[in-house]
Amino acid sequence: MDLMNPSALGIQAQNVKAWFGAKEVLHGLSLEVLPKHVVAIIGPSGCGKSTFIRCLNRMHEVVPGARMEGRILLDGEDVSQHDPVALRRRVGMVFQKPQPFPTMSIYDNVASGLKLNGLRSGPQMDQIVEESLHAAALWDEVKDTLGKPGTSLSGGQQQRLCIARALAVKPDVILMDEPCSALDPIATAKIEELIYALKKSYTIVIVTHNMHQAARVSDETAFFLMGELVEFGATSQIFTNPAHKKTEDYISGRFG
């Protein structure tokens, strides 16, 4: 627990700056995500949305030459003090393009995080796999084909498989980096329903290019522009009565 914020749960980002090499892409962002809330991050391409959420689970520093400054607190603890490997078990991530592990079956994909961290196969593993697939709303579609390759599923199913895979390691937070951008409208609707259901148990930060999606799934919305946070507030307020002209222009489609 951080002594300055003894009761702070969720995520607090304080003055986060990030670089790729010499190029500064985030210029000091601060925002707070409450536990079991969904925060949507919107903004034009290249505004630093993905970079920001990759700072939250320290995936940003995986890129050669990338670094960050500022503080990010997860339940009051500074993430820079965490072992990044342990941190990423608490802060799961779903990527833009569904990426099942190509050599693994559906079952093994979901179990991969547990298996490779030493959990033995057995009834406990079976149970976690089933729960995770249920939670990702995929169980009914794959329960008879768990031994088939993960890559044999459709794109939308693959993305839900990736969500199940992230859920299986029992994170507190799930980061989603444009999880529907490669999916058709029906698969997108399923993922959105899923996000709504997952909110009961998880804190979610989702990057999206789709205004309607942000409006549908999130409690709060953050609007980023060129590495700065322009506006952050309740989603209903951002979309109906934005405080900034730029926010209004962006969500009404006048630029970006």
Partner 1 sequence: MNTNASTRDVVNVAAFGVTALCAALTLGILFFILGYVLIHGIGALNWDFFTKLPKPVGENGGGMANAIVGTAKLVGLAGVFGLPIGILGGTYLAEYGRGRFSFFVRYAADVINGVPSIVVGIVAYTLVVMPVRHFSALAGSIALAMILIPISLRSTEEFLRLVPNAIRESALALGLPQWKVILFVVYPSALSGISTGALLSLSRVSGETAPLLFTAFGNRFWSSGLLNPIASLPVMIFTYSIAPYDDWHRQAWAAALVLLMLVLLANVGARLMLRRRTYT
Q: What letters, b where the CB count within 10 A reaches 16 and e where it falls short, cover 28-63? A: ebebebeebbbbbbbbeeebbbbbbbbbbbbbbeee
Identity of the residue, 159 or 213, whose beta carbon is nearer to partner 1 in the bound complex: 159
Task: State the nearest-atom distance from the C-beta of 240 to partner 1, in Å.
Answer: 35
Q: Which residues pair with 68 in a beta bridge?
A: 18
Q: Taking the CB of residue 143, how many other CB atoms lie within 10 A of it? A: 12
Closest CA to 221 of 36, 39, 48: 39
Task: State the nearest-atom distance from the C-beta of 174 to partner 1, in Å.
Answer: 10
Task: State the nearest-atom distance from the C-beta of 30 to partner 1, in Å.
Answer: 24
Identity of the residue, 29 or 87, whose beta carbon is nearer to partner 1 in the bound complex: 87
Strand order in the sheet with 11-20: 23-33, 11-20, 66-74, 77-78
Identity of the residue, 148 or 244, whose beta carbon is nearer to partner 1 in the bound complex: 148
Task: State the nearest-atom distance from the C-beta of 96 to partner 1, in Å.
Answer: 8
Task: State the nearest-atom distance from the C-beta of 42 to partner 1, in Å.
Answer: 22
| Rounded (5°) CA angle 181-249-206 | 30
Identity of the residue, 88 or 190, whose beta carbon is nearer to partner 1 in the bound complex: 88
Indicate the residue type of 29.
L
Identity of the residue, 4 or 85, whose beta carbon is nearer to partner 1 in the bound complex: 85
Q: What is the DSSP letter of 76?
A: T
Q: Within 13 A of 143's CA, how many CA atoms are on the CB side?
A: 9
Identity of the residue, 14 or 99, whose beta carbon is nearer to partner 1 in the bound complex: 99
Task: State the nearest-atom distance from the C-beta of 153 to partner 1, in Å.
Answer: 13
Given the rule CB under 8 A, which residues bind partner 1? 57, 59, 62, 64, 85-90, 92-93, 95, 97, 99, 101-103, 112-113, 116-117, 149, 151, 162, 165-166, 169
Q: Taking the CB of residue 81, how many other CB atoms lie within 10 A of it? A: 9
